[in-house]
Amino acid sequence: MRSSQSLLAICSLLSLSGGSAASSDSDAVIQNANHIFNVIHDSMRQWGSSLHHNGVSFFLANVPAGTQLYHGTSKSTPVNGTEWLAFEPEHAMVFARPHMAPPNRRPEDGRDEDIDRGHHEELRRRQHHGPGDRPPGPPPHFPPGPPPPFEDFEVFEEKEAGYLHTYAAAKDLRLVYIDGMSAAKTKKGTLDSQDVLMFNNTLDDTPKEGERGPMGEFERATKACEMSENEWGGRIDGVIRMEAGFEVILCAFERDLTPVRIIQVKPDSREGGPKGRMHDRTGGPRKDDDGKRRGPPGGPGGPGGGPPGMNSARWMRAVTARYGGIGGDRVSLNYDHFVTAFAYDLDLFQDNSSLPRLGQVPDAELDVVRRDLNALILAHGAGETSRNWQAITDMIVKRYSDELSYLASGEFTDIQSLHQHIETTLSPFIDYSERDNSSEAERCATQFLPLATQDSQVLAARAVHRVAHHVCSTLLEAWAEEDLEFAVQKVQALVDYLDWTSWKECRGCADHEICVVPIWPMGSVADYEKPTCREASRPYDDNGESYWGGIHP
């Protein structure tokens, strides 16, 4: 492995910087420019990543030291080892509940149980203190200040309490961001980039109760951390994924985090995912000992769909607040160097699907992507300065999103008014002393591209330039079109090609409403086709056909 690192680095230089062989119009970056543009635009955003939920891309991500992160659990002691963290406390609180393992589970059932046994021992040790004794002081790595409220520790049995842990990043965290809704345990392709590509199909998918977290989650976490150790030279601390909220799988809590506080949550405020699909702590639905998936006991729940009652309002409010981005510069991505399967000549859209599937690509064809992912991690870091290409895609989307849907809407009743509207839009790019449509298209296309990037061979630069050019040249073509219907069709085809998620955003939701899109495991087909404003306390309508279908695996 070590000896191949330099070779990988060379591969990296060739492929990641876009060698000249890769700059023809027929190459995949140009063919998939619209998808790559959307990868950049959707990244670290709950909205775009929910609609374009099948990620095929990997970014180096930096979470700055001091960023607060949250962990929900049945345990009141700081985590040592690999676990999950949420960016929003409301997301972590979903897991801040008593452990629900069946009482008759045998110890040899596996890892989760081992951890629990460790915790039981911890509980017993503390209970040796006499009544009224305070439990032992905070662990030495707690920061100065008021100790965490361990006082109630012995009052509640583990089976009755849940805890919300707050941690702060003890250093800049170096993570791999797996895009799309990559923490969604579905069969629709949300796991392909991990299970098929990153883990090279080595995930043992045969259900073995107890040996791993539900639906392979422990194994995914373990494997990612093993790869960091063995293949990536310890250059990565964990991964970022998304479900109903963004999460981090962090390999070494004790090394990378400073515990801030541990508080006990309201005992009856346990909340779950939707009825029948409640998450386990490890992110999967809980299984009772008969193997059937059950909802939260006594949870108000809806008939099959939305998370129950007030708690779901809390959770979904927090999640949807991040539709437009995780915010606060809590995560920055390296957009100058990233790996996306869209940059390779792969047939990602079989069966006329509008979303890519890595699982359908012949496995050998993915090896080049796997190698480039390794090379990316070995050659680059999330901390290095890179241009914010997402901000550039934002300027383009904000400028043209409404404009294009208006032009495509059929509201224009004569070709002259359509021409006039397009001319007004393009006028900054027209030299009326010397009309030249190709110069006009290029001036328009490069409006938002910093000068130094206009001939750049960086993946993001090529894809963004291509998409912007397509917008501008299509407008010119529609302007040249004499037939209204044909002109509108051209813009409609452009809208289909661009597939911007801005066009599915709700307009004018009331203060008590949120815009609802399927977020695993919730949501219906209708929610996907046309997201609408819904009551925040009860966002998911249970009557429609479930968008996600069965649970993976």
Ligand X SMILES: *[C@@H]1O[C@H](CO)[C@@H](O)[C@H](O)[C@H]1NC(C)=O
* Residues in Cβ contact with 210 at an 8 Å cutoff, skipping those fewer than 6 apart: 105, 109, 110, 111, 112, 113
Q: Per rule CB under 6 A, is residue 80 in the interface with ligand X? A: yes
436 CB burial (10 A radius; 0-12, 13-18, 19+): exposed
82 binds ligand X (CB under 6 A): no
Considering only 151, 367, 411, 455, the residue that binds ligand X (CB under 6 A) is 367
Interface with ligand X, residue 200, by CB under 6 A: yes
Show contacts with ligand X in window 400-459 (CB under 6 A).
Answer: 437-438, 441
Shortest distance (Å) from residue 313 CB to ligand X: 37
State phi, psi for 247 to the nearest 5 degrees: -140, 160
Binding mask 241-260 for ligand X (x = CB under 6 A): -------------x------
Does the protein bind ligand X through residue 352 (CB under 6 A)?
Answer: yes
Tokens encoding 295? 């909802």
393/37 Cα distance (integer angstroms): 7
Go through 255-276 and write b for each residue having 16 or more CB atoms within 10 A of its CB, e for each that does not: ebbbbbbbebbeeeebbbbbbb
Other residues' Cβ atoms within 10 Å of the Cβ of residue 447: 14
Among 473, 501, 524, 546, binds ligand X (CB under 6 A): 473
538 phi and psi angles, rounded to 5 deg: -150, 65
Which residues partner with 175 through β-bridges? 61, 238
Least distance between ligand X and beta carbon 441 (Å):
4
Nearer to ligand X, 216 or 521 (CB): 216
Of 58-66, 145-153, 470-478, 501-509, the segment contacting ligand X by CB under 6 A is: 470-478
Q: Among residues 119, 293, 370, 421, which is the contact residue for ligand X, using CB under 6 A?
A: 370
By CB under 6 A, tell whether 371 contacts ligand X: yes
Find where tokens 């503390």 sit.
126
| Candidate segments 154-162, 164-172, 472-480, 488-496, binder of ligand X by CB under 6 A | 472-480
Quick one: which segment of 212-220, 446-454, 474-482, 518-526 binds ligand X (CB under 6 A)? 474-482
Helix, strand, coil percentages (3-state) for the chain, rounded to 5, are 40, 15, 45
**What is the per-residue burial (b if ≥16 Cβ within 10 Å, else e) of 500-530?**
bbbebbbeebeeebbbbbbbbbbbbeebbee
CB of 363 to ligand X, least distance (A): 7
Q: Are strands 257-264 and 332-333 parallel, antiparallel or unpaired?
A: unpaired
The single residue among 449, 476, 517, 536 that binds ligand X, judged by CB under 6 A, is: 476
What is the three-class DSSP state of 258? Answer: strand
Q: How many residues bind ligand X (CB under 6 A)?
A: 15
Q: What minimum distance in Å lies between the beta carbon of 489 and ligand X?
A: 16
**Exactly one of 477, 499, 505, 513 binds ligand X (CB under 6 A); which one?**
477
Strand segments, DSSP code E, in 2-46 are: none
The residue (of 12 and 311) whose beta carbon lies closer to ligand X is: 12
* Binds ligand X by CB under 6 A, chosen from 25, 290, 351, 434: 351
Residues at the contact surface with ligand X, assessed by CB under 6 A: 80, 200, 254, 351-352, 367, 370-371, 437-438, 441, 473, 476-477, 480
